[in-house]
Amino acid sequence: MRKSPDKFLMSMSMEIRLRTNPAPSKSNSGINRACVLRLISTENVDGTDAYKLELKDASGGIRFVFYDVESGLKIREEEVKETPEGPMVQSTIFGDYKDVDGILYPHKMVMNFGAQIITGTVDSVQFNSGIDNSAFR
């Protein structure tokens, strides 16, 4: 009898086309916008097995998003940015997930852009708390 593996990694490519057709407004004409999501592979990201997905938006921009195989949480995002020195990879690492009203939300984000590293820490998260319109003036 053949034993099943405890954990396995798969390599495959899958493409999903997402379409939205928002109601026409001053900022859009109601034209369909589409993005393509492809499962590229599984990779090891800092010691964690992760699904690597390619997200191509309607304008042609491409970013890669990595999700932990076990938890399903987003752990990394990468995007190539054009700079005067040529293309450069900008990455964001997500961590320290905490439960906020039943939703796991990252409370630490580390952004790398070339030699520049920015660390952000979230102190508190409130969903649908109501923001006074004066905050947007």
- Is 131 within a domain? no
- Is 3 within a domain? no
Task: State residue 45's pLDDT score.
Answer: 94
Which region holds residue 72: left if phi is over 0, alpha if psi is between -120 and 50, else beta? left
- Is 134 within a domain? no
- Is 23 within a domain? no
- Tens-place pLDDT, residues 4-48: 444 444 444 445 555 544 555 555 544 455 678 889 999 999 999
Contact (Cβ atoms closer than 8 angstroms) between residue 55 and residue 62: yes
- Is 106 within a domain? yes
Total domains, the chain = 1
- Is 53 within a domain? yes
- Is 133 within a domain? no
Task: State residue 2's pLDDT score.
Answer: 46
Instruction: Name the residue with tokens 């034993």.
Output: 3
**CATH number of the domain within which 107 lies:** 2.50.20.10
Task: State residue 13's pLDDT score.
Answer: 46
Q: What are phi and psi of 107, to 5 degrees?
A: -110, 5
- Is 84 within a domain? yes
Query: Residue 77 sits in which domain range?
Result: 14-18+33-125
